[in-house]
Amino acid sequence: MVRATAAVATPSTQSRHPRAGVVVPAIIFGLLALLPPAALATAHGYLLDLFTRVMIFSIAACALDLLLGYAALVTFGQAAFIGLGAYAVGILASHGIGDALIALPAALAVAALFALVTGIVCLRTKGVYFIMITLAFGQMTFFTASALAPYGGDDGLTIASRSTIAGMPLLDSPLSFYYVALACLLGAFLLCRMLVVSRFGRVLRGAKENPVRMTTLGFEVYRFQLVAYVIAGMISGLAGFLLANATEFVSPAYMSWQRSGELIIMVLLGGMGTLYGAIIGAAAYLLTEEWLSGVTEHWRVIFGPALVLIVVLARGGLIGAIAEVARRWRGD
């Protein structure tokens, strides 16, 4: 039965190039680990904040890639889980509860519960109906947060200080917070990678190609997809926890459908169905945005068409484009 499952799944970029699935992530995490000493040595300390933001959105992009790249679940509500995780931190902090040992489990639990409740409904639909209902739930959280007048409403909520860990302000230092975000990204990546290569992941990929056949083989596809949806929601809740602490502010804008669209673009830009492509896509998106915004105030006029061209012309995103260049260089 497992062999049949594996046979159904279409090979991804990393399965066609097995070494890429190990070498590329090792290079990515190695560079991220070495960036702080290099940034501090060259007096470019602002890079810590920039790449911390990159890693936070990379966590959410990896979660989305689990759904989009391996389960073919195109959701426009992924940002809702980021917002829920962030608001869990902000609301608890406004009531004097600022310890991460409480705030982090709360953020994960709220995101997981919302994913479970909405996933039970959403996953009973397919195609464009699934897209629209996830968009509807995402906008529902957006408007709910906007109506929370005691917690800032449309104006958002300022957090007095970052979460403590067992009463110690370990996240106050930009350097320590950077490495906490890196550890969270590594943990999220390894969790998603473990799921993808497991029997669970083979069922998801098999259902992506032929759900009827997987059902015939005895797998209840709906339950597998629901578990994946909840896990992706929890990982995005982790990103929300980190984002709230990084900015010391929470806002309904974290939950907007535009933010969900940006996450989809990050996954497509890097290379869908690779996980490490989601990290590369998030970095490429945010770093290009940062660079262009410093060049001209009309940077969106350049950024938008450039993204469309890359996604349309570069099959498999940046990972696919690099693989194609390497193939041609070898003369294959």
Q: Is residue 15 in a domain?
A: no
Q: Is residue 304 in a domain?
A: no
Query: Which residues pair with residue 250 across a beta bridge?
Result: 157
The per-residue pLDDT for 8 is 38
Nearest partner of 49 among 239, 178, 180, judged by Cα: 178
What domain range is 51 assigned to?
Answer: 2-9+35-256
Domains of the chain: total: 1
Radius of gyration of the chain, Cα coordinates, nearest whole angstrom: 20
Q: Is residue 323 in a domain?
A: no
- Cβ distance 53 to 286 under 8 Å? yes
Kindly list the distances between the CA atom of residue 130 and the CA atoms of 14, 17, 73, 76, 124, in Å, as whole numbers in the listed order.
Answer: 28, 32, 8, 9, 8
DSSP 244-304: HHHHTEE-GGGGSHHHHHHHHHHHHHH-TTSSHHHHHHHHHHHHHHHHHHHH-TTHHHHHH
The per-residue pLDDT for 20 is 66
Q: Is residue 241 in a domain?
A: yes
Asked whether the whole model's pTM tops 0.85, one would answer: yes
Phi-psi region of 43 (alpha: psi -120 to 50; beta: other; left: phi over 0): left
> Distance between CA atoms of 185 and 58, rounded to whole angstroms?
7
Residues 6+ apart with CB under 8 A from 171: 100, 162, 163, 164, 165, 177, 180, 245
Nearest partner of 273 among 192, 211, 199, 219, judged by Cα: 192
- Cβ distance 85 to 110 under 8 Å? yes
- Cβ distance 202 to 9 under 8 Å? yes
- Cβ distance 171 to 159 under 8 Å? no
The per-residue pLDDT for 17 is 54
Q: Is residue 322 in a domain?
A: no
Tens digits of pLDDT across the chain (332 residues): 334 433 333 344 454 455 667 888 999 999 999 999 888 877 677 889 999 999 999 999 999 999 999 999 999 999 999 999 999 999 999 999 999 999 999 999 999 999 999 999 999 998 899 999 999 999 999 999 999 999 988 999 999 989 999 889 889 999 999 999 999 999 999 999 999 999 999 999 998 888 888 888 888 899 999 999 999 999 999 999 999 999 999 999 999 999 999 999 999 998 888 999 999 999 999 998 888 888 877 777 887 888 778 777 777 788 877 777 777 777 65
Q: Is residue 164 in a domain?
A: yes
Q: At what angle do helices 174-197 and 276-295 cross, to 10 degrees?
A: 140
Q: Is residue 134 in a domain?
A: yes
Kindly list the distances between the CA atom of residue 214 and the CA atoms of 8, 65, 131, 209, 221, in Å, as whole numbers in the listed order.
Answer: 9, 21, 23, 9, 7
Nearest partner of 208 among 24, 4, 9, judged by Cα: 9
